[in-house]
C-alpha cells in the first residue's frame, strides 16, 4: 500500500496531468491539423515563462520534432497584451537569495529550450504579438519565422536589473545590421511594431487582427514544406499596410549608433558619447548611467565574443554569466529597485564602470567544470 505521502504525490500528479488540457494550465500544448501549437497562458503575468512551463514545452518540441505527422510548430501567447514579457524573474530572485537550486535549474533548462528552438528541424513559427522581452525573445527569435504585428513591443532590458541579454542574446544581437544589437543590448531600447521587422528581429509583419486567420491557414496546410509556410506568411505580409510608410525609428541615428557603439570597451563608448555631445548621444549617456556597470561590461564582452560563436557556445557562455549574476549583488538589487519596491533607484556595487575590474569580468566567463551547461 502507498504511504500517505506517496498517495498524495500520486493524486497531485494526476491533477497536474489533467491540468494540461484545461484553460487554467500555464501552457497549452495541442496538435491541430499538421501543426503542433504551444500557447503561453499566463495573461495576468504577461505570459512570463516559469520553470514548470519550460519543463512542459521542451519535451513537447522534442517529440513533435520526431513525429512524422507534425510538419510545423506554432507558438503564441494569450490575453492580447503580450507574447511573453520574459522569464519569471521574481521566482529566480527568491531562489537565488536562498541558494536554492531553481536559480541553476531555471537558466540551465531555459537555455536548453532556446537551443531546441534554434536547432529544431521542423519549421517553427512564433506569433510575437504584443510585449516580447527577455525570455520571450528566447522563445521566438531562434526559430525560422517570427511574425510581428503593430502591437509588438520588443526589448532586451536586462542591464537595468543587473543581468545581461541572455537566452542567446549573445548570438542574435551582434548579428543584427550594423551595431543595432549592441545598442539594444546596452540601452534596453524598445522597438515597436514594424521596427521589429526593420531591425531584423522579425521575419514577417502581419496586422494583429489577421493573426487568427493566419493561424487557421497555417493549420490547414497539408504536410507543408518550409517553402509552403514561407509563401503563406509572405502572402499575409504583403497585404499588411499598417505603418508601411514610416521610416525605421533608428534610421536617422544609424551612423552614430554604428560609430559610437563599435568601441572595444564601455569606458570608450561613454567617452565617444560625451565627445559627440548631440541630443541623441546625451540621451544614451543618461540611459547608460542608470544601468548596472557590471552588467554593461559583461554584456559588451558577451556580444563581442558571441559574434563569432555558435548558438551552443553562446548559451554555454551565458549560463556561466547567469551563475555569476546569481552569486553577485546587482541582480538582486536591480530586481528590488525595478520590480519589487519600484523605486527605480538601484544602488549598484560597484557604482562606476571604472570600478568594475577586467579580472572580475574575466571571472564571470570562467568555465564551471561539472556544472557547465551541456547541450
Q: Which residues are marked as active site?
A: 87, 135, 158, 166
Strand ranges inside the chain, DSSP E:
27-32, 35-40, 72-77, 82-84, 124-128, 131-133, 145-148, 153-155, 191-192, 204-205
| SS3 category, 145 | strand
Taking each continuous run of H as one helix and of E as one strand, the counts in the chain are: 17, 10
Q: Chain centroid to CA 265: how far?
A: 24
Which residues have a Cβ under 8 Å from the Cβ of 105 and sit 6 or more positions away? 51
Specify whether the CB–CB gap between 77 and 84 falls below 8 A.
Answer: yes
DSSP string, 33-90: TTEEEEEE--GGGTT-B-HHHHHHHHHHHHHHHH-TT--EEEEEESSSSEEE--B-HH
Supply 161's cell numbers: 536589473
- Tell me if residue 171 falls in helix, strand or coil: helix
The answer to whether residues 323 and 373 touch, using CB atoms and an 8 Å cutoff, is: no
351 three-class SS: coil
Amino acid at each position: 500500500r502507498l504511504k500517505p505521502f506517496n498517495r498524495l504525490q500520486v493524486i497531485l500528479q494526476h491533477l497536474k496531468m489533467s491540468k494540461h488540457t484545461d484553460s487554467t494550465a500555464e501552457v497549452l500544448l495541442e496538435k491541430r491539423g499538421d501543426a503542433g501549437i504551444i500557447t503561453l497562458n499566463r495573461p495576468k503575468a504577461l505570459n512570463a515563462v516559469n520553470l514548470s512551463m519550460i519543463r512542459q514545452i521542451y519535451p513537447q518540441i522534442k517529440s513533435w520534432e520526431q513525429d512524422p505527422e507534425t510538419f510545423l510548430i506554432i507558438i503564441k501567447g494569450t490575453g492580447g497584451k503580450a507574447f511573453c514579457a520574459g522569464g519569471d524573474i521574481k521566482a529566480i530572485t527568491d531562489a537565488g537569495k536562498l541558494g536554492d537550486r531553481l536559480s541553476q535549474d531555471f537558466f540551465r533548462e531555459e537555455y536548453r529550450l532556446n537551443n531546441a528552438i534554434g536547432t529544431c528541424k521542423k519549421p517553427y513559427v512564433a506569433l510575437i504579438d504584443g510585449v516580447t522581452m527577455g525570455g520571450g525573445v528566447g522563445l521566438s527569435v531562434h526559430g525560422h519565422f517570427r511574425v510581428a504585428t503593430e502591437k509588438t513591443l520588443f526589448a532586451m532590458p536586462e542591464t537595468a536589473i543587473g543581468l545581461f541579454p541572455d537566452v542567446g542574446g549573445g548570438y542574435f544581437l551582434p548579428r543584427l545590421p550594423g551595431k543595432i544589437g549592441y545598442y539594444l543590448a546596452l540601452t534596453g531600447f524598445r522597438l515597436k511594431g514594424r521596427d521589429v521587422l526593420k531591425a531584423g528581429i522579425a521575419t514577417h509583419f502581419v496586422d494583429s487582427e489577421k493573426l487568427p486567420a493566419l493561424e487557421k491557414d497555417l493549420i490547414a496546410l497539408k504536410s507543408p514544406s518550409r517553402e509552403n509556410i514561407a509563401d503563406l506568411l509572405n502572402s499575409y505580409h504583403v497585404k499588411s499596410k499598417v505603418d508601411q510608410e514610416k521610416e525605421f525609428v533608428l534610421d536617422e541615428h544609424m551612423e552614430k549608433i554604428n560609430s559610437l557603439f563599435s568601441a572595444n570597451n564601455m569606458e570608450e563608448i561613454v567617452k565617444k558619447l560625451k565627445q559627440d555631445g548631440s541630443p541623441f548621444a546625451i540621451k544614451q549617456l543618461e540611459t547608460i548611467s542608470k544601468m548596472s556597470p557590471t552588467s554593461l561590461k559583461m554584456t559588451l564582452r558577451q556580444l563581442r565574443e558571441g559574434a563569432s560563436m555558435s548558438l551552443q557556445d553562446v548559451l554555454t557562455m551565458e549560463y556561466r554569466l547567469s551563475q555569476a549574476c546569481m552569486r553577485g549583488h546587482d541582480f538582486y538589487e536591480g530586481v528590488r529597485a525595478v520590480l519589487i519596491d519600484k523605486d527605480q533607484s538601484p544602488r549598484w556595487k560597484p557604482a562606476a564602470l571604472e570600478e568594475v575590474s577586467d579580472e572580475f569580468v574575466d571571472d564571470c566567463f570562467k568555465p564551471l567544470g561539472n556544472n557547465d551547461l551541456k547541450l
